[in-house]
Structure formats: C-alpha cells, structure tokens
Structure 1
Amino acid sequence: MDQKFQPLFESLTFPNQTEIRNRFVLAPLTHVSSNDDGSISDVEIDYMRQRSKDVGLAISAASNVNDVGKAFPGQPSVAHDSNMDGLKRLAQAMKENGAKAIVQIHHGGAQALPQLTPDGDVVAPSEMDLKSFGDPKEHHARPITEEEIEQTIKDFGEATRRVIEAGFDGVEIHGANHYLIHQFVSTYYNRRNDKWGEDRLLFPMRVVDEVTQTVQQYADEKFIVGYRFSPEEPESPGISMEITEQLVKALVEKPLDYLHASLMDIESPTREGKYKDIQRVELLHKWIDGKMPLIGIGSIFTAEDALKAIQSGNVELIALGREILLDYQFIEKIKDGRTDEIISQYDPEREDRHNLPPKLWKQFDDGFYPLPRTDGK
C-alpha cells in the first residue's frame, strides 16, 4: 500500500468504546433484493457479504419497522419476529470478515408505496400527494394520528430489539432522505398544529429515546447507535442548515455513537441562509464539537477522493455508496497498492464487471442513480 493512504486504515473508537478497524463504511444502499414479504433473500446475503468484506462498519439497506412504512420493492423488514431467521443469517454474513454490522431502521412516511402497504394506506405528518421511488403516478398520504405516532415510536423500539436478538452490532436511525423522521423535522412536510408540529424535533428525539432505552434494556454497552440526517432539502420552506444546527445540537446530547450526513457530494456547500457557501460537513463537524464521529458520504469514486475527505478534518468516517457498488474490491485495491485497477465507471456492456444483484443491475442500467458511465449517458 502507498503509505499516503494509511490514514484511511486507522482504527476508530466510538463513544461506547467499540472499535472498528478502518475509516470505511458501507453506506445503507437500497438493493431492492429482499423477498416480497421483506424476508432476507439468498441473493441479498451474498451481496451484503461481498460489500461488507473490507469496511470497518457495514450498514444494511433501510429496513421498515412496520408494514405501513414500506417504501421500496424488495425492501428488508424488521417489523415482525418472523423476520428473525433471515436477519440472523444477514448479521452473520455482514460480520464474517470483521466488519461491525448495523441495521438501518426506517419508515417511509409519505414516501411509502401504496402498492406495498396494507390496503394501500400511506401516512405522513400532514396530508399530501406525491410521487416516490420512480413511481410515475402520484399517491395520497393521509395525516398520521397521534395514536399511530406513539405506536410508530414503539415500532422503532421493537425493531431495535429484533436487531439486537439477531446478533447485529448496532442500529442506524434513518432520519434522512425525505422519509418519516425527516418529514417531521421539515416545514415542507410537517404542517401540523399540534405538539408534533409545534416542536418539529419532538418526533426524532422520541424515536432516539425509544431506541436507546431499548438498547439499554436488551443489549450490552458495545451496541452501536447512529443517526442519519439530510442537512438541507431543496423544498422551500424546508430543512435549512439553521434547522439542522438545532437538530445536531440536540442529537449530540443523546447517548449516540455517531452521526451520518446524507449527501450526494461530500464537499457540497450550504445552499442558502446565513451559512450560504460554507461546506456542510465543515459546519456539522463544528456543531458536533468532538462528541461523536461524523460519517460523510457523496461522490467518492477514487482513493484520492477518500483520502482528501479524511484529511479535510471534517469527517472521521467515509461511507461508500455508488463506488462500492461499482467495485466491491475498492478498499482491497487501495490496501494492496492497486489503485490503478479501481473501477469508477459503470459499464452497461459488462454485467459481470460490477457483481450486482440482478434487480440492482437493472436500476443501474436504467439510469436510476446518477453515476459515471462508460457510455456517457
């Protein structure tokens, strides 16, 4: 290995004293490959084993905590005890080569797909119509009731219990990407005039408390709890960096082990407001103030990109998303001094080149995700 890349392979210790072997994280990637009932498929096991092989921390695809929260075809479920056998197999596969295995717990909220939920029911903080996950037609989301909110919070706790019992090393609370927790924070999605609208941090903080209390009850002190969030959203009015500052400063007071910023470009600047043009990760790192590590993600396609992100001092960990789908040997090639062999472009003529599950390959081929391509599309 070229020694300049050594910082990428330094270990890191979380606040709960759990240590991971390097600075690489497998991002929670939507693979659309679970069975239709949300149980873990053999294809998914092989894919997750392969992508978890070299990272320090491996995060599963977003996994719905109840049936009304299902937002993707082929989404894994942590909503039922009947999911346990598959989850145990998944935990074993993700941990097989030394990574710490994390399940991202998720509720789609308004983004849930009615063709996947019981009776086509979709709930959100406030009533709205929208399209989601490539669906060509809009669907309707009704306001979630207070009773349902309380039950959903409990569902996050029950999902956490299942993750613990399945043998995983942690959970990541999915508070990003326009899903339910994000929606409660957002002034675009949350137009309620009850306590859940007056205090837009109430729902995420209640979920965090439910999850961490469940961990205290069922897990040991080495169980990892993280939280993912989107720092800004394009809708106006929506989540701004000023709102995210409040969110981050509340989260760092909770017994969490890391925060995870969801970004398309790790160097992206703030869009508007008093922090306009300042890099988002720079602001986030400042607000966290050393209390826990920050995971950054977005447009890291080369070894140099990864090194630059770590050496910026704004993130402690780097999540690999599109790149680890293009080349599951990305980390191994850096370690072995073969950076010139890293695959950083999608080749639609070589289905064998990227080792993707068939349904995920089709999404790449259809241009569902923006990424470098050999055909220039």
Structure 2
Amino acid sequence: MADLFTPYNYKNLTLRNRIVMPPMCQYSVKTEDGIPNEWHYVHYVSRAVGGTGLIIVEMTAVHPEGRITDQDTGIWGDEHIPAYRRLVDAVHSYGTKIGIQLGHAGRKAQDADPPVAPSAIPFNDSFRMPRVLSAQEIEQLIEAHKQAARRAVEAGFDTVEIHGAHGYLIHQFHSPLTNKREDAYGQDLALFGERVVRAVKEVVPEGMPILMRVSAQEYVDGGYDVEYCLEICKRYRDAGVDIFHVSSGGEGPIGSGGGPKAEPGYQVELAAEIKRQLEVPVIAVGLLDEYQDAQDVILSGKADLVAIGRAMLRDPYWAIHAAKALDGEQKVPKPYERGYRS
C-alpha cells in the first residue's frame, strides 16, 4: 500500500514522494516582461530543499494579455526560457521534479483593457466587460499554448499542467455559465480545451505526462456538478491529459479559497470520483495542511498525489516535517542534518 512517502512513477516522471506544491501566484514580477526573478528562484528552490516531490510553478501566461495582473509570470516568448531553465536546474539539483502551469486568465485578467473571453459576460461588477474572442483569435490562443509548452520543454520542465480551472479561460469555454457562443465553440463546450490539449501534446516528448487542473464543481446558482465535469474531462483525457489535478469553484465569489463549509479534504471526494470514473491518476488538493490528513488521502487510495498549498507557503520544509511526524523517510540536506538529530 502506497503512503505519502512512496515514490511515484508515471511515464518518464519519477517522484521521490507523493507531495506536490500546487501552482500559487506570487504576483512578484517587478516589470511587465513576465520574467521570473530572484523572488521566484528562492521561493521554488527552497521547497525543493524542503523535500517536495513535485513543484508546479504558478499559472504562467501564454499571452501578455492573459495574466491575472501585470505582476504575473509569462512564457509567451523565447526570451523567458533562460530564467526558467536556471530555476529548473536548481530544483533538479535537490532531487525534486518541477512542472509549470500554462494558462490564460480570460475575463479575469485584471490589468487587460479590455480582457477577452468566449462571451461578453464580466466576472462581476468590479471587472471590465470582456471582448468576445474571434475565431481567428481562438486559433492564435491555441497556438500560444502550444508554443508555451514548447518553451517549457526547452527550459527542462518535467511536466506541463494546463489550467482549466478556477474560472480562467479554458474553464470559461467549458462552463455553460460563461460560454454563450453560437459558433462551434459554443455548440461544443469542450472543443477549445480539447484543442489546447492536442496542441500541447504535439510538442511535449512522448514520455512527458500532461497534467490538467479542473474545477470539478461550480459553487454558484446553475453551476455544473461533477457529473458534468466528468463528461468534459473524458474529452480532455482522450485528447491527451494523463493526470487530473482536481479543484473546484472559481465562477463566483467562492473560488479556490474554499467551497461551502470548506474543511480539510473537502475536495478529495471530487478527485476520487474522477479517478474512479475515468481510470486516471489524480492529484487531490484542498486544506490538506495537517500531515495525517494528507497521509490518509494516499492510504485511502482516493488520490495518487496530494497538493499542499497554503501550508507550504507557511513552511517550505513541510515535506521533511511531515516525514518526521509520520515516521517516513527523511531526506534532510546534509548542511541541515544536525537540526534534525534528536
């Protein structure tokens, strides 16, 4: 039986444990060029030193207008590659694997004027009215995801994650709440995301798994449920997604911060249902701050990996501390060993 510290293998991806640092925006780019800086380098490398199995770099925009804010990272040009390659090489040197989440904020791009979206529906009264994407622009954004994935491969990332959750662009296309188009992309709500997946698959190596983050349930009136999401995810799986990173929310005031009555593990059953129905590996996430809660998810078989978000912001060495608390194998860097001797 696998536990939190059992190595994980899928295709050419081998992780030393089942602990994932999920993408969490840092809003720390000091210019508008989207290039990660020393903050990002220290932030991610410290979690590799801290024993994390897989780090997924924050949502990284495939287009300048696709950032949530102008302080977000991007990968829309080849000039971004060297900074990511430096980061990847450092993370690898500490035995951790690293992926990158590729995304576009769509109507939730706060600094775009105007933002773009499948339909002219603003996120709320505080957000700008989005401009409707033309068929030609949709083609360009599919290509932008493809080229961003190519750059990620050139930078040395071990995997790429496509962002299809939390009310951002792909989620906007596959949600009936936000896609009121009358063309092919409105008649087939999974089409845009499916085409993005196929485009990414064209440029990643055969052995590199493709991850996708999805909101399995929306917490608004008329929002979709997990049964609807399963049908969308089948399309994404068949297009080339290997592992689903299962979250929820994003189309209303309740987003990734938690659903109604959110409590530790509140999204785990959503992940378990996608794993069971689609027969794919899944990453569970959602207030799994306590070591035993994360351990129990893996022991139960409801998910293959667990993502530790806010707790890892507070503690870069969460994985090492979890190993100590749960009697797992501790891989403490040699310079720190005396700090862990009893």
In structure 2, how many angstroms separate the alpha carbons of the residues matched to 1:58 and 1:11?
15
Partner of 1:198: 187
Partner of 2:6: 10
Distance 1:312 1:266, change over 3 A: farther
Matches within 5 A, 1:1-377: 7-14=3-10, 16-36=11-31, 37-53=33-49, 54-113=51-110, 115=111, 117=112, 120-131=113-124, 137-215=126-204, 219=205, 221-263=206-248, 264=258, 267-268=265-266, 279-289=269-279, 292-337=280-325
- Alpha-carbon contact 2:264-2:293 (below 8 Å) kept: no
Unpaired segments ≥5 residues, structure 2: 249-257, 328-342
In structure 1, how many angstroms separate the alpha carbons of the residues matched to 2:322 and 2:127?
44
Q: Aligned letter for 1:241?
A: V
Q: Aligned letter for 2:237?
A: V
Q: Secondary structure at the match of 2:129?
A: strand
- Alpha-carbon contact 2:105-2:169 (below 8 Å) kept: yes
In structure 2, how many angstroms separate the alpha carbons of the residues matched to 1:227 and 1:144?
23
Which consecutive aligned stretches of 4+ in structure 1 deviate over 6 angstroms post-superposition?
none
Show CA shifts across 1:126-169 (max 9, x none).
Answer: 002234xxxx9331101111100010000000000111111111
Partner of 2:333: none
In structure 2, how many angstroms separate the alpha carbons of the residues matched to 1:335 and 1:267?
20
Q: Secondary structure at the match of 2:289?
A: coil
Partner of 1:355: none
Show CA shifts across 1:24-47 (max 9, x none).
Answer: 011001111223221111111001
Q: Secondary structure at the match of 2:3?
A: helix
- Alpha-carbon contact 2:264-2:289 (below 8 Å) kept: no
In structure 1, how many angstroms separate the alpha carbons of the residues matched to 2:242 and 2:93?
22
Distance 1:303 1:249, change over 3 A: same
Q: Secondary structure at the match of 2:122?
A: strand
In structure 1, how many angstroms separate the alpha carbons of the residues matched to 2:239 and 2:301?
23
Distance 1:20 1:55, change over 3 A: same
Residue 56 of structure 1, CA deviation: 1.5
Residue 306 of structure 1, CA deviation: 0.8
Identity of aligned residues (%): 30
Residue 288 of structure 1, CA deviation: 2.1
Q: Aligned letter for 2:307?
A: A
Q: Aligned letter for 2:214?
A: F
- Alpha-carbon contact 2:108-2:127 (below 8 Å) kept: no
Partner of 1:356: none
In structure 2, how many angstroms separate the alpha carbons of the residues matched to 1:299 and 1:143?
35
In structure 2, how many angstroms separate the alpha carbons of the residues matched to 1:176 and 1:130?
14
Q: Aligned letter for 2:266?
A: S
Q: Secondary structure at the match of 2:238?
A: coil
- Alpha-carbon contact 1:324-1:330 (below 8 Å) kept: yes
In structure 1, how many angstroms separate the alpha carbons of the residues matched to 2:265 and 2:36?
35
In structure 1, how many angstroms separate the alpha carbons of the residues matched to 2:227 and 2:187?
17
In structure 1, how many angstroms separate the alpha carbons of the residues matched to 2:12 and 2:150?
21
Q: Secondary structure at the match of 2:80?
A: helix
Q: What is the number of equivalent residue pairs in this alignment?
A: 312
Unpaired segments ≥5 residues, structure 1: 270-277, 340-377
Partner of 1:357: none
Distance 1:169 1:67, change over 3 A: same
Could you tell which deviates more after superposition, 324-333 or 242-251? 242-251
Show CA shifts across 1:185-214 (max 9, x none).
Answer: 101110111110110010110000000011
In structure 1, how many angstroms separate the alpha carbons of the residues matched to 2:8 and 2:55?
14
